[in-house]
Amino acid sequence: MQASGESRGGRFLQYAAVLILAITLNFALPRLMPGNPLALLAGVDVGLLSADERAEIMAAAGLDQPLYKQYVGYWGDLLRGDLGYSYRQKRPIAEMLAQRLPWTLLLAGSALVLSTVLGSVLGALSAWRRASPLDTSLLWSMIGLNSLPSFWLGMLFIAVFAVRLGWLPAQGAVTPAAQLTGGQQALDIVRHAILPVLTLSLLSMPDLYLTVRYTLLDVIGEDFVRTATAKGLARSRILFGHVLPNAAPPIVTMAALRLGYAFGGSVVIETVFSYPGLGRLIFEAVGSRDYPVMQAAFLLFTVAVLLSNILADLLYRRLDPRLGGVHR
């Protein structure tokens, strides 16, 4: 047990090192990019500034300080939970992120659940009926889905279900200025979420489907399954009692890892659907070179990916008895 504890400590040290590196890179990248932040700070009148005004604006943003001082200040701010200030939007970034986070959680969370459930069920079905027409058609559909660009599928859904059929709204998270309350408001939010969630789910489902299918096929081929079948156990009992528990570790790991990437996947989808989440915020920050917002959002993504890795690590240990987690 001693050794295992040590290795876990080592692992967390690794994660900490990655985090520090990511934060440092995050600090350095915007400063290495070409261009002058003055355009952003001063807005449309940048050409009308006097030399004094230019210096004043740079000083107010702390950009006249030597680089190492800016770096130390960056860490100090982070440790205080201060994510910085958007000069473009003239607002604290933490506030901007907080306003958008719930929408991304709704979108990415629903899609994660839907695609995991659908991907697992279809993957299990495929594996269980290997080489049947069902398996073949599912496999080909998933490979096809996997090769679609996300913006294209989103735009196709908009063209069909919003523009032609008029069943669902094409843009946004709510009907603007509709003043809805209670159940109607909830229904409005659901109606707006259907197309983006469906797009995100369909696009992330193939990965999970393929993992589940191949893992199950592996396990089904094992001796203990053959033994169980020979003992005359019901098929459902074999599937749920023997196959699934043994196939669980890689599947759960995959699902946990995707938790971290769910944010990143939302950039394109939120833009296509004008959904007011974090992905859209990043898209606009990149477009308008709002560096402080980009930094804060990338930091959030980094932390999400690291946390999901840690989670996957922990889950794997609990599910796989060979790694000594279950019996402790």
Partner 1 sequence: MSTHTTRNWLRIALIGFVAAALAACAPASPAASVETAAETTVSEPVQLRIGVMGDESTLTPYTYVTGYPGWNLLLLQYDTLYQTDVDGMAQPWLARGLSVSENGLTVTIDLRDDVSWHDGEPFSAGDVKFTVDYFKAHTQSRFTRALAPVESAEVAGEHQVVLTLTAPTPLFELSVLADVPIMPEHIWANIEDPAAHAFESASNVGTGPYRLVEYRPDQYYRFTANPEYFAGAPAVAEITAIIYADDTGGLTALQTGEADMLARPVLPEQIALLSASRQINLAQGALFTTDMLTYDMTKFPFDRAEVRRAVSLAIDRQELIDTVYLGAATPGSIGWIHPASPFFNEAVVTEYDPDQARALLDEAGIIDSDGDGIREAGGAPLKVEFLTPSGNALRLRTAEVVSEMLRNEIGMDAAVAVVEQATWEDAVWPGFDVAQGRNYDMAMWGWSAPVQANAVRITSLIHSDPAIGSLNLTGYASETADALAEALNVAVDPDEFADLLDQVQVQIATDLPFIMLHYPDGAYAYRADVYDGWAFMAGQGIFHKLSFLPESARP
Minimum gap (Å) between residue 9 Cβ and partner 1: 42
Site for partner 1 in 73-102 (CB under 8 A): 88-91, 96, 99-100
On the CB side of 135, CA atoms within 13 Å amount to 14
Residue 281 is a binding residue for partner 1 (CB under 8 A): yes
Residue 5 is a binding residue for partner 1 (CB under 8 A): no
How many residues bind to partner 1 according to rule CB under 8 A?
65
Find the binder of partner 1 among 36, 136, 227, 229 (CB under 8 A): 36
Residue 55 is a binding residue for partner 1 (CB under 8 A): no
Find the binder of partner 1 among 16, 117, 159, 234 (CB under 8 A): 159
Q: Which stretch binds partner 1 (CB under 8 A): 106-114, 165-173, 256-264, 319-327?
A: 165-173
Minimum gap (Å) between residue 103 Cβ and partner 1: 8
Find the binder of partner 1 among 1, 3, 32, 51 (CB under 8 A): 51
Find the binder of partner 1 among 2, 50, 147, 236 (CB under 8 A): 50
Residue 23 phi/psi, 5-degree rounding, is -65, -40
List, as one string, the DSSP characters of 165-205: S--S--SSSS-TT----HHHHHHHHHHHHHHHHHHHHHHHH
- CB burial of 246-268 (b: ≥16 within 10 Å; e: otherwise) equals bbbbbbbbbbbbbbbbbbbbbbb
Pairwise CA distance, residues 284 & 289, whole Å: 8
Residue 48 is a binding residue for partner 1 (CB under 8 A): yes
Find the binder of partner 1 among 93, 106, 173, 193 (CB under 8 A): 173
Residue 42 is a binding residue for partner 1 (CB under 8 A): yes
Residue 132 is a binding residue for partner 1 (CB under 8 A): yes
Q: Chain centroid to CA 218: how far? A: 29
- Tell me, what amino acid is at 17? A
Give one word for 274, left, alpha or beta, with left for phi > 0 and alpha for psi -120 to 50: left
Residue 53 is a binding residue for partner 1 (CB under 8 A): yes
Find the binder of partner 1 among 22, 78, 134, 180 (CB under 8 A): 134
H helices of the chain, where?
2-32, 38-42, 51-60, 67-79, 93-128, 133-146, 150-157, 182-220, 223-230, 235-238, 244-272, 278-287, 291-319
Nearest to 205 by CA among 152, 150, 260, 243: 150
Minimum gap (Å) between residue 321 Cβ and partner 1: 32
Minimum gap (Å) between residue 178 Cβ and partner 1: 9
Token output for 172 = 């946004």
* Residue 3 CB coordination number (10 Å): 8
Minimum gap (Å) between residue 271 Cβ and partner 1: 4
Minimum gap (Å) between residue 310 Cβ and partner 1: 31
Give one word for 18, left, alpha or beta, with left for phi > 0 and alpha for psi -120 to 50: alpha
Which residues lie near partner 1 (CB under 8 A)?
Answer: 33-36, 38-39, 42-51, 53-54, 56, 88-91, 96, 99-100, 125, 129, 132-134, 137, 155, 158-166, 169-174, 176-177, 270-277, 280-281, 283-284, 287-289
